[in-house]
């Protein structure tokens, strides 16, 4: 692949976790140098808190921090407008307005590349790629080849359990004493800095941890029947379906919901999970993350939850 020398920055958060396979492959095949921000750090979080509007949820603040981290080192910033990826649900309004949010609150940025991606419109990803190719001076033939390659990479990634790329979890252990589902948006669940390493912490206590990405689309789709209307927002819909699936099948000992401070959709999601968990008699605990989350508080809460779930299991086993 001949490189054009153009450097495009890709913030490592929000939709990065779901669609990075596609974009890595696309930019590489188009000969464009894709620069990914590092994993979230305290200075990225601090920059985001400084730069984003104060009422933004914590993941949006973190996004601003990643943008700031990349800005001095790239020619363009890739800030796509993700609208819908399954033709039914749409992303939360903050995703929809992301390019404007970033532009209005941050100065001194390189130009943004912001194609609109909405699978309710035909060929949306192909059109997004062609738009990017035009802006970056890549030929149409090369862009078409890059799009084909990217689609194949994304399919492969989804087939091969994408979560294994992101989190330091041991393979599923059948003999583990407890099985806990950790549910939430991928940019909360897989950002170890933001959630203070909940997944490896649980795994190190011998718990078999499962996350949404381990469920098949078919398994989650079955939960649709529970609602007259599904949840409108893309990631929220997945969280509720995964939670309901766990509660109804009762094949986990407990459910932890990682929820972000300042998230509007989570006010609904968390309540639905809490009520259904109580109805189905499956232990449930919300874990709120914010910019002040402290390790001591988190460890205490996790330990108390695990102890309670463990005792309950022992009592039931007689």
Q: Where along the sequence are the contacts to ligand SF4 (CB under 6 A)?
A: 57, 59-60, 92, 94, 185, 235, 260, 263-266
Closest distance between ligand SF4 and the C-beta of residue 128, in Å? 20
- Encoding tokens for residue 73? 């080192």
- Encoding tokens for residue 198? 């909940």
Instruction: For ligand SF4, give the closer residue by CB, 179 or 241.
Output: 241
Closest distance between ligand SF4 and the C-beta of residue 262, in Å? 7
Q: Alpha-carbon distance 109 to 21, whole Å?
A: 25
Instruction: For ligand SF4, give the closer residue by CB, 4 or 293.
Output: 293
Positive or negative, the CA dihedral 264, 304, 240, 179 is positive
Phi first, then psi, for residue 207 (nearest 5°) are -80, 140
Q: What is the DSSP string of 24-87?
A: HHHHHHTT-EEEE--S--HHHHHHHHHHS-TTS-HHHHHHHHHHHHHGGG-SEEE--EEEESSS
Closest distance between ligand SF4 and the C-beta of residue 169, in Å? 23
Instruction: For ligand SF4, give the closer residue by CB, 82 or 284.
Output: 82
Q: Contact at 8 Å (CB) between 81 and 96?
A: yes
Closest distance between ligand SF4 and the C-beta of residue 39, in Å? 18
Instruction: For ligand SF4, give the closer residue by CB, 127 or 268.
Output: 268
Q: Contact at 8 Å (CB) between 242 and 183?
A: yes
Closest distance between ligand SF4 and the C-beta of residue 314, in Å? 36
Instruction: For ligand SF4, give the closer residue by CB, 273 or 306.
Output: 273
């Amino acid at each position: 692949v001949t490189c054009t020398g153009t450097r495009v920055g890709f913030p490592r958060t929000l939709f990065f976790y779901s669609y990075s396979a596609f974009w890595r492959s696309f930019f590489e095949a188009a000969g464009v140098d894709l620069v990914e921000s590092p994993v979230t750090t305290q200075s990225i979080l601090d920059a985001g808190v400084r730069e984003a509007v104060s009422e933004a949820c914590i993941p949006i603040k973190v996004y601003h921090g990643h943008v700031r981290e990349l800005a001095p080192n790239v020619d363009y910033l890739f800030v796509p407008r993700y609208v819908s990826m399954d033709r039914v649900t749409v992303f939360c309004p903050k995703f929809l307005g992301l390019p404007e949010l970033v532009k209005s609150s941050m100065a001194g940025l390189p130009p943004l590349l912001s194609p609109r991606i909405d699978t309710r419109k035909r060929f949306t990803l192909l059109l997004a790629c062609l738009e990017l190719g035009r802006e970056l001076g890549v030929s149409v033939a090369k862009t078409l080849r890059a799009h084909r390659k990217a689609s194949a990479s994304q399919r492969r990634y989804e087939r091969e359990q994408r979560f294994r790329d992101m989190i330091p979890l041991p393979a599923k252990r059948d003999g583990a004493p407890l099985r806990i589902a950790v549910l939430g948006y991928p940019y909360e669940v897989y950002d170890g800095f933001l959630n203070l390493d909940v997944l490896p912490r649980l795994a190190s206590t011998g718990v078999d941890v499962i996350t949404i990405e381990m469920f098949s689309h078919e398994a989650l789709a079955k939960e649709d029947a529970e609602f007259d209307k599904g949840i409108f927002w893309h990631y929220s819909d997945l969280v509720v379906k995964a939670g309901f699936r766990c509660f109804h099948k009762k094949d986990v000992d407990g459910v932890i919901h990682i929820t972000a401070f300042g998230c509007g959709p989570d006010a609904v999601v968390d309540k639905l999970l809490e009520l259904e968990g109580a109805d189905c008699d499956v232990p449930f605990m919300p874990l709120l993350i914010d910019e002040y989350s402290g390790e001591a508080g988190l460890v205490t809460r996790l330990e108390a939850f695990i102890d309670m779930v463990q005792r309950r299991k022992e009592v039931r086993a007689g």
